[in-house]
Amino acid sequence: MSLRTASAAIEWPAWREPLIEKLVGQLKEANEGLKKNPSSQGYLSNRGDVYLFLDAYPEAIADFEKMIKLQPDLDAQHWRLGLAYYFAGQYDKAERQFQKYYAYYGLDRETGIWKFLAQEKIDGIDKARAEMLTYKEFDREPFPELYDMYAGKRAPDDVLAELDKKELTKDEQVKFFANYYVGLYEDLLGHKQRALELLRKAVDIMPQRETVYMWNIARIQWEQLVRDHTEGRF
């Protein structure tokens, strides 16, 4: 396993070091559990998550795929494997995994955004928009507005302004997802500085139970933007 380490020149927030230490501790605990029971779905799931949060994407994929091999009916519902594929640069597999999850649970536009992001890497933005997944029922804020933005029907600033006008950003969960996914969209458009700003706003909203998983996903993407900026890649 090779975990990426951040440049010593980067001044990270005070919460980052204890978080990484906690994740490393969870990794050790999962490793010990798997020594005793190599087929434990619980430990494989936990270790896969920790690997993902520590940027160890091949290791996360291996654990998630082993889960499915041991219990094939987990495949369609395993959206976390789709994220691991995405971060490993296996965009075709990521796209297929999100399509599987859509077939399993077709109400969550967040899945549609990730399918779009994976397909855009392969086919470009026009085809990804033309083949976006279809949603007819309301799921949760702020995803209807965000989904329209990814479809090219709304501008990023308009989405944020509308959510603020509706006072939806008083909800920390809505505010987190709005800043996060608008930030990802700005990054997609090549607006790196704006993306860095919005993802920082997202990770500054410390997670509640409902957002802790995706907060860590936002964190690793924000950290990569920080590294890119520090190393002069934008």
Average pLDDT over residues 95-102: 98
Q: Residues of 1-39 as b/e, b for ≥16 C-beta within 10 angstroms?
A: eeeeeeeeeeeeeeeeeeebeebeebbeebeebbeeeee
pLDDT mean over 10-15: 94
What's the confidence (pLDDT) of residue 208? 87
Q: Is 147 exposed, middle or buried (0-12, 13-18, 19+ CB in 10 A)?
A: buried
Overall average pLDDT of the 112-137 stretch: 98
pLDDT score for 1: 58
pLDDT at residue 210 in the model: 81
User: How far apart are alpha carbons 216 and 223 in whole angstroms?
Assistant: 10
What per-residue confidence (pLDDT) applies to 7?
A: 55
Residue 87's pLDDT band, with cuts at 50, 70 and 90, is very high
Residue 209: band (very low, low, confident or very high) from pLDDT cuts 50, 70, 90: confident
- Does pLDDT of 224 surpass 80? yes
Mean pLDDT on 92-96: 98
Q: Could you give the C-alpha distances from 149 to 93, 113, 200, in angstroms and in order?
A: 24, 10, 20
How crowded is residue 83: how many other Cβ atoms within 10 Å of its Cβ? 23
Q: Rounded to two decimals, what is the model's pTM?
A: 0.95
Is 80 exceeded by the pLDDT of residue 68?
yes
| Percent of the chain with pLDDT strictly greater than 70 | 97
Q: Name the band, by pLDDT with cuts 50, 70 and 90, for residue 63.
A: very high
Residue 51: the pLDDT is 98
